[in-house]
C-alpha cells in the first residue's frame, strides 16, 4: 500500500494535499444549499459536508470554511435564519458543481447555471427545482472549530419534501431510485445505482460465526 505519514502530508504541494485529504474520508453527500439575502438576492452553493446530527430534534450540520473572507451562504443564513438543502442528482451535476465558483453576492448562481429556483410556503430561501429530496432548514447554532478556523453550522429540519417513488413504508428514502449523486474528494461525482439494506444486527453467541 502507498503510505504517507503526518510529516509527508505537511510538506505536500497544496493541490496534491487537498485532493488527498478530501478523498481519504470516503464518499460524501452532494447537496446544494439555497439561501436568500435580506435584500432579495438568491444564492445556491454546493456542499459536501452535510451530516446527520440527531433525529429528535431533527438536526443536520455542515461545515463552513473560514469566514475571514465573504461567505454568502453564511451571511444569508445568519441574517435570515433560513436555508434549504437540496440533493444533487445526475442531471444537474455540472450546474451544481459550477456553484462552487466565487460570484459576487449580488449575482445569483441560479442565473449563471441551468438551476431553477423553487419557492414553497413557509420558507424564505429558495429550493432547487427538480431536486428529489428538498429540506427547509432553520438556523439553530454554530461552533467555531479552533483547529482550522472553520465553523460548524447546525440547523433544524422544518419541512421535508421527497419524490414519492423514493419513499418506503418504513420511512427509508431510496436515494438510488432518484439518481442522487455523491462526491469523492473535491470534484469527482458518482451516482450509486443500488442499495443493499441489511437487517438490524444483534450480538451472535460468543465463538460462533
Lookup: cell for 17:
494535499
Instruction: For residue 120, give its domain range.
Output: 26-190
In a domain, 11, yes or no: no
- Three-state DSSP at 91 gives helix
- Is position 111 within any domain? yes
User: What's the whole-number average pLDDT of the chain?
Assistant: 94
Total structural domains in the chain?
1
pLDDT value at position 208?
Answer: 78
> What pLDDT shows up at residue 209?
73
Q: Is residue 20 part of a domain?
A: no
> Is the residue at 10 inside a domain?
no
Structural domain contains residue 9 = no
- 16 lies in a domain? no
CB contact set of 18 (below 8 Å; sequence gap of 6+): 186
Q: Please check whether residue 204 lies inside any domain of the structure.
A: no
C-alpha 156/C-alpha 136 separation (Å) is 8
Q: What is the mean pLDDT of residues 115-131?
A: 95
pLDDT digits (tens, 9 = 90+) for 133-168: 999 999 999 999 999 999 999 999 999 999 999 999
pLDDT reading at 44 higher than 80: yes
Report d(CA 120, CA 123) in Å as an integer.
6
pLDDT at residue 115 tops 90:
yes
* Whether 62 contacts 46, CB under 8 Å: no
Alpha-carbon gap, residue 141 to 9, rounded angstroms: 33
Do residues 37 and 43 lie in contact, with contact meaning Cβ atoms separated by under 8 Å?
yes
pLDDT at 132: 97
Q: What is the pLDDT of residue 67?
A: 62
> Does residue 57 surpass a pLDDT of 90?
yes
Domain containing 155 — which CATH number?
2.30.110.10
Tell me the pTM. Answer: 0.93
- 207 in a structural domain: no
CA distance 186 to 47: 10
Amino acid at each position: 500500500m502507498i503510505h504517507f505519514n503526518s510529516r509527508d502530508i505537511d510538506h505536500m504541494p497544496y493541490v496534491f494535499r487537498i485532493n488527498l485529504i478530501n478523498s481519504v474520508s470516503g464518499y460524501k453527500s452532494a447537496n446544494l444549499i439555497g439561501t436568500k439575502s435580506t435584500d432579495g438576492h438568491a444564492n445556491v452553493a454546493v456542499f459536501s459536508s452535510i451530516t446527520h446530527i440527531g433525529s429528535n430534534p431533527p438536526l443536520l450540520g455542515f461545515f463552513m470554511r473560514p469566514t475571514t473572507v465573504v461567505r454568502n451562504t453564511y451571511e444569508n443564513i445568519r441574517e435570515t435564519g433560513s436555508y434549504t438543502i437540496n440533493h444533487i442528482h445526475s442531471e444537474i451535476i455540472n450546474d451544481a458543481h459550477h456553484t462552487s465558483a466565487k460570484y459576487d453576492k449580488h449575482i445569483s448562481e441560479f442565473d449563471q447555471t441551468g438551476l431553477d429556483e423553487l419557492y414553497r410556503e413557509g420558507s424564505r430561501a429558495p429550493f432547487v427545482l427538480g431536486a428529489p429530496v428538498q429540506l427547509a432548514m432553520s438556523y439553530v447554532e454554530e461552533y467555531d472549530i479552533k483547529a482550522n478556523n472553520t465553523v460548524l453550522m447546525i440547523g433544524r429540519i422544518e419541512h421535508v419534501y421527497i419524490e414519492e417513488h423514493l419513499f418506503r413504508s418504513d420511512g427509508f428514502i431510496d436515494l438510488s431510485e432518484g439518481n442522487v449523486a455523491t462526491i469523492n474528494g473535491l470534484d469527482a461525482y458518482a451516482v450509486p445505482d443500488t442499495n443493499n439494506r441489511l437487517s438490524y444486527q444483534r450480538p451472535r453467541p460468543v465463538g460462533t460465526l
